[in-house]
Amino acid sequence: MPTDSSPTARALRALEILQTRPGTTAGELAERLGVTERAARRYVGILREAGIPVESARGPHGGYWLRRGTRLPPVVFTQAEALGLVMAVLDGQPAAADADDFVGFALSKVIQALPESVGRQAAALRQHASAAPDRYSARPDPATTSALVAAVAARRRLLVTYRSESGNEWEAEVDPWAVVVRYGRWYLLCHSHRADAIRTYRVDRVRAVQQTADEFELPDGLDPVAALEENLGTGWEFPTHVVFDAPLAEVAPWIRPPMGRLEPSGDGCVLAGSTSNPAMYAQEWLASVPFAFRVDGGQELRAAVARLAARFAAALADQPLTAISKDWSTQGTEKEA
């Protein structure tokens, strides 16, 4: 199998470029391939010798393109591409190591279609690499995800039915700006007309999607990842307001975006946000921040912190934990965002 730098591999890369960008000039092709124009023309010649009809025209509007109706050869992966694909699938979907998993079954098809030398290495990588699942990741329904992505691409408003962790279900009219994958979870970044605000919905909790005839425009300069990070901690049922007795620069590395927005306040800083799971917020997020803090707002979060404090105090006081454990066991610990 050719390496990434072999003439055949570069010729295949040239074919990919011409597929996606008809009219590419020799200069543009050379720049994309990282070679000279003379070498780029040689790779086009390799494609023509292989029977692929690459047409060209001279002049200011000239360039290369594939003849209309061209039947292209099967997809060919280099060794690095094939192994990288297997690694990416296992990293994002650990269950794909099992051929009975539907993603694993699809991966098996890809591996079987590879040339023998590369396919053997890909199969060995898939068999012997053990991928530990992320307990906080969530697999959304592919059909729902596809419907959301289609609406994003078409700039069409949606009616979505959403169910929160607590079981509340509602319908919202939204402008779907982007689908963002973050740390094993898929999110819909959108503008909710119901709330007249930016919202981040977990795709695995979207129960129904209905595309409308209404169109929308994306905000100018939208950075979907940055917008998601900024808004993950807003819009949930229970408000939170936490004051830290440490400078923002020291606290910031310990604050996850879903916890809210961190802002300076005097010699310390303030974290304002919201959550649908106060117990998780207290036990898993606040407890991991190594700075003194005070919960000033959100009575549900204050109650969750009080239960956590009582639990640890009882552990040091050598007292029975039955009542505290029973109370704590009724609190959810699944993360909302």
**Average pLDDT for residues 291-306, to the nearest whole number?**
94
Say which residue the tokens 């190591």 belong to: 97
Amino acid 328: pLDDT: 45
Annotate 141-204 with DSSP letters as a single string: -HHHHHHHHHHHHHTEEEEEEEE-TTS-EEEEEEEEEEEEEETTEEEEEEEETTTTEEEEEEGG
**Average pLDDT for residues 199-220, to the nearest whole number?**
94
The SS3 of residue 223 is coil
With CA atoms as reference, report the closest residue to 111 among 85, 137, 129: 85
Amino acid 179: pLDDT: 95
Residue 336 has pLDDT above 70, yes or no: no
Structure tokens at 80: 């690095």
Q: What is the pTM of this model?
A: 0.62
The per-residue pLDDT of the chain, averaged, comes to 84
Alpha-carbon distance of 60 to 41, in angstroms, equals: 17
Single-letter amino acid code for the residue at 299: Q
Amino acid 301: pLDDT: 96
Residue 329 has pLDDT above 50, yes or no: no
Amino acid 76: pLDDT: 66
**Average pLDDT for residues 282-287, to the nearest whole number?**
92
Residue 308 has pLDDT above 90, yes or no: yes
CB 12 within 8 A of CB 18: no
Report CA 277 to chain centroid distance, whole Å.
22
Q: Output phi, psi for 240, to 5 deg.
A: -135, 145
Domains and CATH numbers, the chain: 7-66 (1.10.10.10), 79-128 (no CATH), 142-228 (2.30.30), 238-329 (no CATH)
Alpha-carbon distance of 81 to 65, in angstroms, equals: 25
Alpha-carbon distance of 196 to 200, in angstroms, equals: 13
pLDDT tens figures, 57-89: 876 667 888 877 666 666 667 778 788 888 888
pLDDT tens figures, 30-60: 998 889 999 989 988 888 887 888 888 876 6
The SS3 of residue 75 is coil
The sheet that has 206-215: what strands, in order across it?
A: 197-202, 185-192, 169-182, 156-163, 206-215
Amino acid 144: pLDDT: 93
pLDDT tens figures, 82-118: 888 888 888 878 777 777 777 888 888 888 877 777 8
Point out the least confidently predicted range of 68-77, 122-131, 249-258.
68-77
Count CB atoms within 10 A of the CB of residue 62. 12
Residue 335 has pLDDT above 70, yes or no: no
Point out the least confidently predicted range of 58-67, 165-174, 183-192, 258-267.
58-67
Residue 234 has pLDDT above 70, yes or no: yes
